A and B are shown apart, each in its own frame.
Chain A
């Protein structure tokens, strides 16, 4: 029973914290906008001053995007760690980052006329292609998916794709254009992107939550699961599908951010325990909270310039991580 109370309070705290930082994010930014104006922009559809425009068409999609992307990255990290039984796994192992990066480079190099939204779609396609390629290679010799083969195939394909895109960028002098994407940032997230990618992210997040009770099975071996009448290979396939949707879209939108997917799942496990039915919802909320806060700070440090977002995430995340890791070790 003690666990349930802990879970409920963790869920409640994280939700309140998330809503709080989202509101702060709407209120503060490069432009100084009064609280009353923010409120009227959100509640009164007829208010159409410049400030209200800024809130509605720039800050709101950015904050919503940050929350969804944070939850997506953290969730796909948790799924990856579960199905590969590897505490250091994240979606990068599926070649998501490298695939999206390569496709982005190709777009910039050969189709410079594409709009940002179109480029983002191609990056999602790139992420999916490389994930499917890695998936096929690791299941080619065996019907069952072997986590260690998956990791090795992932490293091989990622390295190849990264090398290709870096080579192209060097030859065609695209480093400058790609730099934004490499550091990660939410500055470019707009309604035109969120209109289609937002619902896709939400579907991915719901699927992830539905998988959470099954994901506990990944703590067992394939033999254990089979003798309980369950199929681990099937579960792995479903989970990897979710990972492709979630992190493929996130990476295409904001670039490579590793800390969220790697650390947030561990932090939630330390807070509510290793049962995925409890840790996964907390993971999604914490991921969203961290990403929204980091984006807010990135905008506030040196306005109107944006500080690279990945750096802020590490600056907030690492102290939290060290605190929780120490707390955990005194418990054990």
Chain B
């Protein structure tokens, strides 16, 4: 079943169209990853799916309901979003940041309820941050900080979590931590995950569903096996990729620039 559908959606800033007439489906309960070259419109699409940007034409449906018609506060209980740059809030402690995730549920001027505390505790445990809860964000490593932001989204306790390039600027180990956390959220807590990733091998290994975008248009969408083909990679990234099958998942072993004359 599809959780989110876009129907002939176009999105742009001022007079520049970034996404043109795009229709995609995002299945419920799965990990869907958007892949594509820089500037292809991944972030723009993510922001539109998250209701941070209004499409110029077309509709985005969440559970068959037009996302524009849903109140911001109601939507915040259905969908948590982590935009790409999170360089703010460095003066806050991990726990303070995570408790922001409970804002959609709180009344004005009211304190945290027992449920709020439970959800914050649960989010900190999921992201393995219990020991760091009182540290300020500025004293954490990049990976720990990113986990704190994800924990905020977890505390929001939504069916859907949207992450824009959650592993950018992290080293290998921290990237793996973040990806495993995302996978756990999907498998154990049955969250629908939508994210944009640059690392194609991570996308292949951790996703159920891939959507490949180039110049604002869908080049391929479907299961990892359907999308991660040499043919598609050539069309999307302009590369000649050598793919290997590792335990049923296609992974890129190595790649080169694709040039027309190679074929002759």
Contacts and interface: CB of A to CB of B under 8 A. Distances in A.
A226 B100 CA distance: 12
Given A220-B89, A221-B83, A223-B83, A228 B52 contact: no
B92 A274 contact: yes
Interface residues of B, number: 31
Given A219-B92, A274-B91, A275-B96, A224 B83 contact: yes
Contacts of A228: 76, 100-101, 103-104, 156
A6 interface: no
Contacts of B73: 229
A228 B73 CA distance: 7
B139 interface: yes
Interface stretch (A39-47, A100-108, A209-217): A209-217
B76 A227 contact: yes
A56 interface: no
Contact of A216 (B85, B96, B104): B96
Contact of A269 (B71, B75, B91): B91
B72 interface: yes
Interface in A194-223: 210, 213, 216-217, 219-221, 223
Nearest to A221: B88
B100 A231 contact: no
Interface in B183-237: none
Nearest to B81: A227
Nearest to A274: B91
Interface in A207-257: 210, 213, 216-217, 219-221, 223-224, 226-231
Contacts of B136: 274
A273 B135 CA distance: 12
Contacts of A231: 72
Contact of B100 (A85, A220, A273): A220
- Which of B52, B71, B74, B103 is packed against the most chain A CB atoms within 10 Å? B103
A332 interface: yes
A220 B50 CA distance: 17
17 contacts: A216-B92, A217-B103, A219-B88, A219-B89, A220-B89, A221-B83, A223-B50, A223-B52, A223-B83, A228-B100, A228-B104, A229-B77, A229-B104, A274-B92, A274-B136, A275-B92, A332-B139
A227 B100 contact: no
A273 B96 CA distance: 11
A210 B109 contact: yes
B103 A226 contact: no
B145 interface: no
B100 A217 contact: yes
A273 B91 CA distance: 8
A27 to B, nearest CB: 39
Contacts of A210: 109
Interface string B59-96: 00000000000011111110111010110110111001
Given A227-B76, A227-B81, 13 more contacts: A216-B96, A216-B100, A217-B103, A219-B88, A221-B83, A221-B86, A221-B88, A223-B52, A223-B83, A224-B88, A226-B51, A228-B156, A275-B96
B147 interface: no
B119 interface: no
Contacts of A274: 91-92, 136
Q: 6 tightest CB-CB pairs across the interface, nearest first?
A: A229-B76, A229-B73, A227-B81, A274-B91, A219-B89, A229-B104
Interface in A286-329: none
A216 B95 CA distance: 13
B47 interface: yes
A275 to B, nearest CB: 6
Contacts of B77: 229
Interface of A: 85, 210, 213, 216-217, 219-221, 223-224, 226-231, 269, 273-275, 332
A85 B88 contact: yes
A220 to B, nearest CB: 6
A229 B75 contact: yes
Given A224-B83, A229-B103, A230-B103, A213 B96 contact: no
A101 to B, nearest CB: 33
A39 B85 CA distance: 60
A213 B156 contact: no
Contact of B88 (A220, A229, A230): A220
Given A219-B91, A275-B96, A332-B139, A227 B103 contact: no
Given A217-B100, A220-B100, A332-B139, A227 B50 contact: yes
Given A228-B103, A229-B75, A223 B91 contact: no
Contacts of A226: 51-52, 72
Contacts of B47: 223
B13 to A, nearest CB: 12
Contacts of B52: 223, 226-227
Contacts of A229: 71-77, 103-104
Contacts of B86: 221, 224
Contacts of B104: 228-229
A276 to B, nearest CB: 10
A216 B88 CA distance: 12
Contacts of A219: 88-89, 91-92
A227 B80 contact: yes
Contacts of B85: 221
